Amino acid sequence: MNGVSERLNTALGALVAAALVVGAFVLLFHVLDSGGGTPPATIVRVQVPAGTTPTGKKATPGHAALGTKAPQSGAAPQGATAAPASSGPNPAEPASLLARPTRGPAFEIVRIREGARVDLETAPGGPVVAKLGDQTEFGSPASFSVVETKPGWLGVTAPELPDGEIGWIARDPNQVTVFWTRYSLHADLAGRSLELRYGHKLVGRWPVTVGGPGTETPPGRYGVTDGVAFHESPYYGCCALALSGHQDQELPAGWIGGNRLAIHGTPGSVGGAESLGCIRATDETMRFLFARVPLGTPVFVAA
């Protein structure tokens, strides 16, 4: 009887161990599919300039935390044409995927591995435009939206390039990690609206402010390079998604990111054409986007 009991206990122990191993792998793949397993962003403190906002409000100098997530809100943004009831990510819609989905639109993202440095070239095997490290100037993991591919090469949008041009990174698994997302952002400048899509599905549509006369928002395809959180900034609201593109006009001295494009929040109203080139959304909308889109998400801006 004792022998039978011992064998039974051994068998049960083996089953439990096997279940734990399987469970660990399921958890691992869930985390990776949800965009986990990536190096955390470094928090960088920078000065926010003083001056006058586009709406005429006086602003004093302050600080911003760069490379961090925006504060979360318990409510979905108002004014959305279509949006889930919850502001948190839908578990059925992982932000990033290890492989291309078999159906529907999806977009490739390349991230530079921790400690690696890669060449950004004008063409596969061509002149080097820049040496890229594993972090952006704002401290985020260096991630790029892939526009085009060739055998062994990835064509990407990057802030080191003029708008409309792509650079090339060697597809070296020792240097870069490649993954996919179904998410994409679509700005309609004429309609002054911003859409978040998941494949073919419309997740949400919101009114936004776009560039004004002489400082129009440049159309094109860009990629999200950084998530930037602010403490009640009169310029950027709660937060900003920095893009790989550039505004055509020179911005005020001390402006964060120089002439880089961004989609950012605002404490004021939205829906006009009066920005210096960036796209302004409400803080509620920005928190909604921060909860979903990974770095490297493509952004399509139509005139």
C-alpha distance from residue 184 to each of 85, 146, 281, 294 (Å): 20, 12, 16, 10
Range from 25-29, 139-143, 252-256 that averages highest in pLDDT: 139-143
Q: What is the pLDDT of residue 51?
A: 47
DSSP letter, residue 182: S
Q: What is the pLDDT of residue 18?
A: 35
Measure the CA angle with vertex 127, ends 122 and 133; round to 5°: 80
With cut-offs at 50, 70 and 90, classify the pLDDT of residue 257: low
144 or 253, which is more confident: 144
Give yes or no for residue 233 having a pLDDT over 50: yes
β-pair type (273-275, 210-211): parallel
> In this structure, are residues 226 and 43 in contact, taking their beta carbons and an 8 Å threshold?
no
Average pLDDT, rounded, for the chain:
75
Helix (H) or strand (E) holding 15: helix 2-33
In three state form, how does the secondary structure of 204-250 look?
EEEECEEECCCCCCCCEEEEEEEEEEEEEECCCEEEEEEEEEECCCC
Total-model pTM: 0.74
Which pLDDT score, from 0 to 100, does residue 237 have? Answer: 87
Dihedral angle computed from the Cα positions of residues 219, 222, 227 and 232, in that order, rounded to the nearest 10 degrees: -10
Lowest mean pLDDT among 15-24, 126-135, 198-207, 294-303: 15-24
**Percentage of residues in the chain having pLDDT higher than 90:** 51
**What are 32-85's pLDDT values in tens digits?**
233 333 333 333 344 444 444 444 555 444 444 343 343 343 333 443 333 333
Per-residue model confidence (pLDDT) at position 58: 55
